[in-house]
Structure 1
Amino acid sequence: MKRRKPEQTATSFFRRNLRNRETGAQRIFCRKTAAFLTGGLLVCLCLSACGPVKEKTQKTEKKEVEIPITFTVNPTTGKKNQQELVEAFNQKYKGSYQVKVDWIMETEDEYRQNLKRMNVTDQLPAVITDLRMLPSFYHMMITEGRIEDLSDEIRTDEEWSSSIEEVVLQGCTEPDGGIYLSPISTAAFSCSGIFWNQELFAQAGIDHFPTTWEEFWECCDKLQAHGITPLALHTEGTGWSPMLFATAQLASTPEGLAFMETLYPESYNNAQGRQLAETLQKLFSYAGKEALHSDFDVAYNDFFSGKAAMVANGYWMIDQIPAEWKDKVRFSAFPGNTLVSSPETFGWSVVSGYSEEIKKGAVEFLKFRTLRNKQEKERLFSSQGSTGKAAQQDYIQAYQNVSGLVPNYQVKWNSILQEETIGKYLPKLAEGEITSQDFVEASDESIDRFRQEW
């Protein structure tokens, strides 16, 4: 037998070995493939038996963030306050944010008192309004870290900060630079003056609104002489309408204005305090008996039923003028050409106890409110209220030509005086049960109690 060369034998062995390995690998691959296909077939059969499989959605739908807030329903008119603002925001931010409103049938004073209860029970909504109307409670909320400092959000947002009038921003800024009240854009809608019935004025032979306080008292005498109740007043709550008259009259002198600009006066037992009490007593001599032990809703009804010729209130009442009264109700600044205004009272706060996403949505809502307020002013003032009510046109003229703005007493005086003393002693002062000096001394007692409690 012919022998093979060694190198040939090795080569042949290598080739045979390679073929054997390939054949083995192919067999293993085939077995695995068969097993895989068999398993896949079983899975398909099982799935077929169970019915069609729904394909999983890759994208997770983003849930709207709800921003809880409480607004009042006007007890007199039944109108939901801020309804248009809420609807406009919810429409614009649909899919991202929604303001969830708890509408309550309460007066503004009742709502403010309930803020304190909700704070104690930790039931405050994410956004709270009217906080600056309760000065001591407002500062307590800051001290305890219950409301957010919005200064960074406002100052770093050019669109937001540039839409706020400087006087408004200053009013909402604390001495340390913090901003806990999201401002409205303009002071134009924050002012109060006198609404008057020109038909009743005409019946008394009065053809224009008085421009001085001397003329004002003469006007009241003429109306009364013709059997017309001059003033629609009330004594409950913080005595809003009569206090507007009295504080505006007090601020007609430099000394009185300086007193009105003082935060937490140290005493009312001075010339200014006595003048205030005497003016309040005089005002009620021109009001009906129904003004005693009643709230502003009674004063509102007295005016719009034609029982009284004048009522003091702010711009917001223009929207509450009944359609049939739109041509007979006029608006004027207080005698001396002043308006009462503190735009910070319209600042809203964000409560700290909520999640970051809710607080972020609340801030977006407040910015939306500021920008909307700016647009409202531009639209209204460019048209001069030509399509609105007579009182609206009067208001625009009064605001543009006013000589000065008087601070709102509700942001200057202690809460005990406002919430307890006025309601208790104003009816007694009006009925002559106590003197103006008694009223002043009761006001000073409120200062002592306030210092002890706070």
Structure 2
Amino acid sequence: MKKAFLKRLIGAMLICTMALGLMAGCSSGTKGGVTKTSGTNGSGGETESTGSKETADTESTGVVEINFATSWVGVSANTEWFKDRLKAFNEQYGDKIKVNVEEIAGDQAYVDKMKVLYSSNSLPDVICTGGYNLIDSMKDQFVDLTSYIDNEWYDSISKVCWDVNSRDGKIYGMPYSRQVIGYFYNNDLFAKAGIEKPAETWDEFFAQCDKLKEAGITPISMDTADSGWLTSLFLGALIAQTDEGEKFMNTLQPDNYNTADFINAAAAIQKMFQNYTTSDAIGGKYENGASNFYMEQTAMIANGPWMASDFYDTSMVEDGFANKVETAMFPGGVMYNSGKIGFNIASKTEEQTKASVEFVKFLTSDESQKKLLEVTGDIPAKVSVTSSEIHPIIIDVMANGNIATRNINDYQSLWYANVVDEISVQYPMLAQGEITPEEFATALTDAAAKNK
């Protein structure tokens, strides 16, 4: 009798539990952070989700979850801007889209992590590589964005930005900024060395480096790690002194570095390493070179206008440092004036793709690009966006870009990813004279050949 009674009691409790579950699922709305929608379970009843699983979350709450991996953390120039934009996005879209952010400090560490995730077909929904070209090596997992971009949006963006974000007539990246890069110099240190104005030719440039050395001043900030960004900007400017060199620096995926322009430029870089830079340049990262310039240990540094905000940051430089800094074109009238690799989307479902597009549209809106210009100095991809609140030196950089004799793209956007990686392997050997400029060129050519 007890067993029979217990069976009846347990059965009644199960029925009550199921009924309560069905009643709870019949209401919809949002309360206490739990969003309820009219999904269906296997018996035709409605379900509720608390967001514990992404698939269930999408079906039951209407909130689509996407993952965004970013290097805009810590000391990154974009950190403040991204935090502001993410907060604004959540306020506007929080009931529809949830962005899960993975923070990866350092551009090279970020790129390396994306390569690992690509190999396991597990890229985040949205990535932004800071200008590194991963389109060519990863486009089979990137979404073709062409159909998501209307004519108004397309026409508002500088054409040079679409050029570097497209392959074979398909758009794989959504631009948010342009590269306009020259070099900065410390006018006080120039004056101490008796230098009145920036050099117009490379012969004059190296003569000025000698003057700086004679005055006890190290001329140039350089680096070799993480593809040697500071050094490679000078390398590209040196290459672009001729028509053929300028063409080379605007060529997508060049496969032959064994040219006179490249070898001559590599020889000049070797000279700069051996005579005109700091002892920590070999093996050093961008941060080392930047710190040397901030501390007035070097007189010149090649970089973009986003660096200008640091010139006013008294946690990094002495008060008044910005008043000492001016900007110049590279000798020969060369400026980096080009598009930059933007946001790539690797979502696996149409729903997540649409949510990712909304997220990226927000980050590339007029308001977001205006804030990017004001906070970081990045030049907007949208030609109509400007601001009266930016540092004067940024205006000077933009002005130089408008009058440059030769306009080139940066190597990270155009060269094969493994060639960019190879630079960091070869630079220390070139710097120390272990290889010749010709061998340096051959090493990069061999790296490019691996992509065939």
Alignment of 1:16-55 (within 5 A): none
**Contact 2:240 2:406 (C-alpha < 8 Å) held by counterparts:** no
Is 1:236 matched with 2:225? Answer: yes
- Paired position in structure 2 for 1:343: 339
- Paired position in structure 2 for 1:364: 358
The offset of 1:100, in angstroms, is 2.6
Q: Deviations over 1:106-144 (max 9, x none)?
A: x2112111111012234321101128623xx522422x3
Is 1:331 matched with 2:327? Answer: yes
Highest Rg: 1 or 2? 1
Is 1:305 matched with 2:295? Answer: yes
CA separation of 1:210 and 1:390: change in aligned 2, threshold 3 A: farther
Question: Amino acid of the residue matched to residue 354 of structure 2?
Answer: K
List runs of 5+ in structure 1 lacking aligned partners. 1-52
CA separation of 1:240 and 1:77: change in aligned 2, threshold 3 A: closer
Q: Is 54-63 or 264-273 further displaced after alignment?
A: 54-63
What number of residue pairs does the alignment pair up?
Answer: 385
- Paired position in structure 2 for 1:165: 158
Q: Is 303-312 or 88-97 further displaced after alignment?
A: 88-97
Is 1:262 matched with 2:257? Answer: no
**Contact 1:326 1:389 (C-alpha < 8 Å) held by counterparts:** no
1:141 to 115, 138, 142: 138
**Contact 2:223 2:289 (C-alpha < 8 Å) held by counterparts:** yes
Matches of 2:109 and 2:410, distance apart in 1: 19
Matches of 2:230 and 2:249, distance apart in 1: 16
Determine helix, strand or coil for the equivalent of 2:170. coil
Alignment of 1:31-430 (within 5 A): 57-59=27-29, 60=36, 62-73=61-72, 76=75, 80=79, 82-105=82-105, 107-130=106-129, 133-134=132-133, 137-142=134-139, 144=140, 146-155=141-150, 158=152, 160-175=153-168, 177-184=169-176, 187=178, 190-284=179-273, 285-321=275-311, 322-323=313-314, 324=319, 325-345=321-341, 347-353=342-348, 355-372=349-366, 375=370, 387-420=389-422, 422-430=423-431
Question: Amino acid of the residue matched to residue 357 of structure 1?
Answer: E
CA separation of 1:404 and 1:273: change in aligned 2, threshold 3 A: closer
- Paired position in structure 2 for 1:26: none
Matches of 1:54 and 1:138, distance apart in 2: 47
CA separation of 1:54 and 1:407: change in aligned 2, threshold 3 A: closer
Q: CA RMSD of the aligned region, Å?
A: 3.0
Determine helix, strand or coil for the equivalent of 2:232. helix
Determine helix, strand or coil for the equivalent of 1:311. strand
CA separation of 1:178 and 1:250: change in aligned 2, threshold 3 A: same
Determine helix, strand or coil for the equivalent of 2:299. strand
TM, length-normalised to structure 1: 0.76
Moved over 6 A (4+): 53-56, 377-385
**Contact 1:147 1:351 (C-alpha < 8 Å) held by counterparts:** yes
Matches of 2:237 and 2:447, distance apart in 1: 22
**Contact 1:241 1:296 (C-alpha < 8 Å) held by counterparts:** yes
Matches of 1:318 and 1:331, distance apart in 2: 10
Matches of 1:162 and 1:371, distance apart in 2: 14
**Contact 1:126 1:350 (C-alpha < 8 Å) held by counterparts:** yes
The offset of 1:154, in angstroms, is 0.4
Matches of 1:332 and 1:386, distance apart in 2: 21
**Contact 1:385 1:392 (C-alpha < 8 Å) held by counterparts:** no
- Paired position in structure 1 for 2:11: none
Q: Deviations over 1:223-260 (max 9, x none)?
A: 11110001010111212111111211211211211222
Matches of 2:396 and 2:409, distance apart in 1: 21
**Contact 1:211 1:335 (C-alpha < 8 Å) held by counterparts:** yes
The offset of 1:192, in angstroms, is 1.8
CA separation of 1:329 and 1:90: change in aligned 2, threshold 3 A: farther
Q: Deviations over 1:345-381 (max 9, x none)?
A: 2x1111132x333221110122222223554599899
TM, length-normalised to structure 2: 0.77
**Contact 2:163 2:339 (C-alpha < 8 Å) held by counterparts:** no
Question: Amino acid of the residue matched to residue 351 of structure 2?
Answer: E
Question: Amino acid of the residue matched to residue 169 of structure 1?
Answer: W
**Contact 1:386 1:393 (C-alpha < 8 Å) held by counterparts:** no
Question: Amino acid of the residue matched to residue 200 of structure 1?
Answer: L
Is 1:445 matched with 2:423? Answer: no
Sequence identity of aligned pairs in percent? 30
Q: Deviations over 1:174-212 (max 9, x none)?
A: 22x21111122x63xx22211222221222122322233
CA separation of 1:219 and 1:75: change in aligned 2, threshold 3 A: farther
**Contact 1:71 1:80 (C-alpha < 8 Å) held by counterparts:** no
The offset of 1:89, in angstroms, is 2.1
Q: Deviations over 1:420-448 (max 9, x none)?
A: 3x222211211222222222232333234
Matches of 1:164 and 1:224, distance apart in 2: 44
The offset of 1:162, in angstroms, is 3.4
Matches of 1:192 and 1:211, distance apart in 2: 16
**Contact 1:277 1:439 (C-alpha < 8 Å) held by counterparts:** yes
**Contact 1:235 1:295 (C-alpha < 8 Å) held by counterparts:** yes
In terms of fraction of residues, the more helix-rich structure is 1
CA separation of 1:99 and 1:333: change in aligned 2, threshold 3 A: farther
**Contact 2:326 2:393 (C-alpha < 8 Å) held by counterparts:** yes
**Contact 1:132 1:344 (C-alpha < 8 Å) held by counterparts:** yes
CA separation of 1:413 and 1:55: change in aligned 2, threshold 3 A: closer
Matches of 2:198 and 2:116, distance apart in 1: 43
**Contact 2:186 2:300 (C-alpha < 8 Å) held by counterparts:** yes
